[in-house]
Structure 1
């Protein structure tokens, strides 16, 4: 998040809480001033002499709709329609734009204030310019529909750009539009700004990037976990038409290792890869995920001493999961005499630029990172390995190179969500209501961030919202393969086990699952209000269906999920969510729907398994993500709230997965519920 000092330095504006109604912006002017043909008081919003509004989006859009949100924020403060705002993606540059990382459900929380302030600055300058032109107090003027109004007089923004650009932003007080006066934010089901381009194929994703003269590279990757290149016979590959270069990749500096084939076209590169003769050494060719899971269970911390008899104990086993975005990993790079140009669907263009400059000993100005539209990320694209591969290939080929991963590459060489095993125990009162709990967790840390110690894992995952005292213990050993961020990170592990356990505990005592949760939540809590809203919207359990309920409190937001299923077919999911002020209702619904589909997929079969050192799954044929016929109806209730703006992208998955598993009617011992784990 950009801090106040950095924001003020970037936008060159002093903000005040109110516009002084009696302020007159200087003497009347006879006509437009001579000056710049563009009003650009900050790095986020600008107007050209034709009145066209451009909003610069500092964070990548990987499907979460941040570009649409920015357009709404800017349109609201400039008093125009969302279609009047053109969005432009910012390059990687933390000095200008602050943190550009997309993760931890933080985009809306970090952008809403800076983007609104940026647009409000432009609006207040335009109003001040109009007031000066008319010789009237600023407080008598108002902006709406792309113009400044004073009584029956009206000046379009285009007519005021030069005058406004000549003003010193530091002399014009800036006030944000009060929430009670919002016309767009929270009040419109605005579609995505790029929806037409996406459905017509006009949108350009990272995988579509082809600079002039670009070559294509694919990589022959290690056949088992941790294998290193031993010998390479590339004679046949180099003899093929179109093959330009073959190079071994050092996993210490150039991604995950392997042998890259650079060619003029993708088919030629793939043929070249098939023609390679490579031997491998090292690694763990006998690795088996079932053995890993058993070892994690054996390492579980013991159940601590309870204040009374333990009424119920259960163990849950959770598998490896791949990210499997619709757009496989890719990156394009061009190493030149003056630096490095990168085009990548990354979750952190600014951080990537900083990392590359440090790794290759360059000034930041010598590294240029263009941010492409991203076909899904879910935590995977925070990592730079495709970019490092593209840089290594470009250095060898002397030209821009686009590295493409096949679907099999993507699934078999991911940074996976770690496996975990959970042992939960509880003591209860005479009515079966829990009075004490323990939760022991055995898992791995994240190889992408070694500082994910047991304490950090606990703080990330333990978001237990109910009034039950207890103890949570985590043990975390080193991961035997690459592990990384996966939507909701460790909360997806902890909350799944805790909600499934709480449901089983209540059912053993004959307690209604909703009433049990209501008893354990404060009467005035946001989460209890969300639970009541979800249950009220869902209504009685339909005949022939089984219901599951789960709750979650994280990222400054709360959500309650009710799932109704007929065996393994989830028919309907109702989710009530409180994210504070709702900025983009359609975006909220889309994020909840995405979390529900992830839940249905992982509960009913999707998992990654390892046999003989190799990931078994190679495509969506055997990584069983939910098809459209398995997607339930999803009804999202927006719960009114005066809480600060909260996060959402990772919020829905943990409770949706638990509610869906409970609704299956099966005895839940882990995830998935339809197959052995691991």
Structure 2
């Protein structure tokens, strides 16, 4: 019927093609809900398929920047509503009655006591040309906005049946002996002690190819390698000192002022499923948990005539799987061997060779009035750009647009000093806003350590949408609002209130306005996930470098939050007439700031 919806004429089965990857954010469910709403069927009746990388058919397929629903909701709903209209028109022509007298529901088009299934009408409908398509009004939604709709893959996830990239079969498994220090390049190897594995030298290391993972890992341990160049003496303390020295001068506030310095550490992505990809040399087929299948395809088409990129379900991403390094390793090894090769990164590989959230230093200054409220502010930032988009993030003006989300009625500016990154850097959930908003909100909270954080924010907020989220959070939070933080971004708004109860539990309430919440339980899950990321960072996880190498190598020394660290979380999904907004990265900055202040 169209690229997103097809109907089997014999069985009547409706198949929905999801154009962007699902990295755990629930886009498969949200797209299924859109189609189900417009076709007047249940989500459970649909068959869900993942689109291959094909920008000519599906347009932009990147799953990033918290804008998936903003991009998809109109074209997907329009596609499904078009199918519904064509089915109705096909039935009306058969019965020779006005289309306005027919209605679609539960897989049938009905007119009085007559009915025809979607399958019976599919071939005729596909030949028709639609007239003006009308989407189902929000007041008539039964599927969209329904908090009872569960994830389409929920049962498969919790029972371990869902296949991820790491489950993809292959002829050979490869692991890579990676640089022993930052930036080192391989020069040679001695495979005398290597058994049952082939060694292939790559630009960034030595691949060990074997018939199974155990053999490949054992061979990597036995391989002796030599390296040159790079930064064998790199030290993150020295990097931090250089960033502190590079802080821009900014502007001096009028009169007496308060000044504070905040340091945001480097962070690794640590998705539950480390990077992994499988490639076949036959017409170059790639199976990978990429966040950008269209970009991977375009990249490979420069060298290969025929390319297929098949996005697998990803066990988390958070920006890491926007990178293509692990995909290119699989392609190179498949080309070398002429066989299907799966490249696996261990947790150690993932932790020590990631594209990290940049280190940053923030100096916030403000003039305050007699109430202790800021009346003028200046925020100076010293940080690194992102390696994958240097031409964009090396521009201070663009950085200001990405990071300056201040919602309060206080005059001021943000200034950036950008230094070359000494280590690979990349997108990390909420990118620069996660650091800048944290500094701004922490500073505002620390201007007055008394328990009046809520009143202080309300006095300063002129952004009505943010103010409403804060009021909603305050109404829902049954306790003391000891820590408060707000954020606006991606066309959405969030407010977070946190407290430590008398029995020393952490309690958090978040109110979020994303416009119409298409998949309310998915909204709650995204906010909860962002809060758990904040819990981890506030606990003190960080990446450090000593003697040229990343110190942290596993969850043992990078203590991401465990189940026992989970606070009591209440998420308020607000009713809103605003346009559909973004969500995936929205709640992290405010949650981190509220929890950070609570931990002081």
For the criterion TM > 0.5, the same-fold answer is: yes
TM-fit CA distance, 1:302: 2.1
- Aligned equivalent of 1:422: 362
Look up the match of 1:458: 400
Q: 1:625 aligns with which of 560, 571, 581?
A: 560
Aligned to 2:188: 231
Q: 2:222 aligns with which of 275, 286, 290?
A: 275
Equivalent residue, structure 1, for 2:468? 529
1:570 Cα shift? 5.3
Counterpart of 1:340 in structure 2 is 284
Say if 2:289 and 2:311, in contact at 8 Å, map to a contact too: yes
Q: Give 2:199's aligned residue.
A: 246
Alignment map for 1:28-39 (pairs within 5 Å): none
How far apart are the structure 2 equivalents of 1:261 and 1:495? Answer: 44
Contact 1:569 1:630 in 2 (8 A): no
CA deviations on 1:480-522 (whole Å, 9 max, x unpaired) are 1000000000000000000000011133xx5821111111112
1:131 corresponds, among 92, 98, 101, to: 92
Q: Does 1:319 align with 2:265?
A: yes
**Maintained 8 Å contact 1:591/1:648:** yes
Q: Tell whether 2:335 aligns with 1:395.
A: yes
Q: 1:569-648 to 2 correspondence within 5 Å? A: 571-648=506-583
- Structure-2 residue corresponding to 1:379: 319
More deviation in 135-144 or 405-414? 135-144
Question: Does the CA contact (< 8 Å) of 2:250 and 2:415 recur in 1?
Answer: no
What is the Cα deviation at residue 190 of structure 1?
A: 1.3
User: For residues 119-198 of structure 1, what are the structure 2 equivalents within 5 Å?
Assistant: 119-165=80-126, 167-169=127-129, 171-198=130-157
Partner of 2:249: 302
Cα pair 1:100 1:348 within 8 Å, conserved: yes
Alpha-carbon offset, residue 200 of structure 1: 1.8
The answer to whether the 8 A contact 1:570-1:630 is kept is: no
Helix, strand or coil for the counterpart of 1:448?
helix
Match of 2:276 among 330, 336, 339: 330
Distance 1:392 1:534 in 2: 51
Task: Note the alpha carbon deviations across 1:296-332, whole angstroms, 9 max, x for none.
Answer: 111111241323321x110001111000000001111
**3-state SS of the aligned residue for 2:500?**
strand
For residue 590 of structure 2, what is the aligned residue in structure 1? Answer: 655
TM-score between both structures, scaled by the size of structure 2 = 0.97
What pairs up with 1:9-158 in 2 under 5 angstroms?
Answer: 40=1, 42-49=2-9, 50-158=11-119
Q: Is the 8 A contact 2:476 2:509 kept in 1?
A: yes
Instruction: State the secondary structure of the residue aligned to 1:248.
Output: strand
Contact 2:501 2:507 in 1 (8 A): no
SS of match in other structure, 2:63: coil
Q: Distance in 1 between matches of 2:504 and 2:240?
A: 28
Which residue of the partner structure matches residue 499 of structure 1? 441
- The question of whether the paired residues in 1 share the 8 Å contact of 2:482 and 2:498 is answered with yes
1:1-56 C-alpha deviation (Å, 9 max, x unpaired): xxxxxxxxxxxxxxxxxxxxxxxxxxxxxxxxxxxxxxx2x100111112111100
User: Contact 2:247/2:361 (CA < 8 Å) preserved in 1?
Assistant: yes
1:216 corresponds to: 173
Instruction: Single out whichever of 569-578 and 219-228 deviates more from structure 2.
Output: 569-578
The 4+ residue runs of structure 1 with deviation greater than 6 A are none
- 1:391 Cα deviation after fit: 1.4
TM (normalized to structure 1)?
A: 0.86
Q: Does 1:434 align with 2:374?
A: yes
**Structure 1: distance between partners of 2:353 and 2:284:** 26
Q: Give 1:459 shift.
A: 1.3
User: Which range moves more in the overlay, 144-153 or 342-351?
Assistant: 144-153
Deviation at 1:196, TM superposition (A): 1.3
Distance 2:482 2:299 in 1: 48
Q: Determine if the alignment matches structure 1 residue 476 to structure 2 residue 411.
A: no
User: C-alpha separation between the residues in 2 aligned to 1:418 and 1:315?
Assistant: 17
1:137-179 deviations in Å (ceiling 9; x for gaps) = 11111111221122233222222223323x322x433211111
Q: Is the 8 A contact 1:128 1:172 kept in 2?
A: no
Alpha-carbon offset, residue 341 of structure 1: 1.2
Instruction: Tell me how many residue pairs correspond in the alignment.
Output: 597
Partners of 1:180 and 1:79 lie apart in 2 by 14
3-state SS, counterpart of residue 235 of structure 1: coil
**Please, which of 453, 458, 468 is the counterpart of residue 513 of structure 1?**
453
Q: CA deviation at 1:569?
A: 6.3
Output the CA distance in 2 between the equivalents of 1:642 and 1:487: 27
Q: 1:449 is paired with a residue of what secondary structure?
A: helix
SS in 2 for 1:354: helix
CA distance in 2, matches of 1:320, 1:486: 10
Q: Is the 8 A contact 1:346 1:382 kept in 2?
A: yes
Q: Residue 355 of structure 1 aligns with which residue?
A: 299
Residues 578-619 of structure 1 show CA distances to partners (whole Å, capped at 9, x for unaligned) of 000110001000000000000000001211111111111111
- The superposition leaves residues 601-651 of structure 1 with CA deviations (integer Å, 9 ceiling, x where unpaired) of 000121111111111111111111010000112111111111100000000
Which secondary structure state, in structure 1, belongs to the residue aligned with residue 115 of structure 2? strand
Alpha-carbon distance in structure 2 between the residues aligned to 1:455 and 1:292: 23
RMSD (CA atoms): 1.5
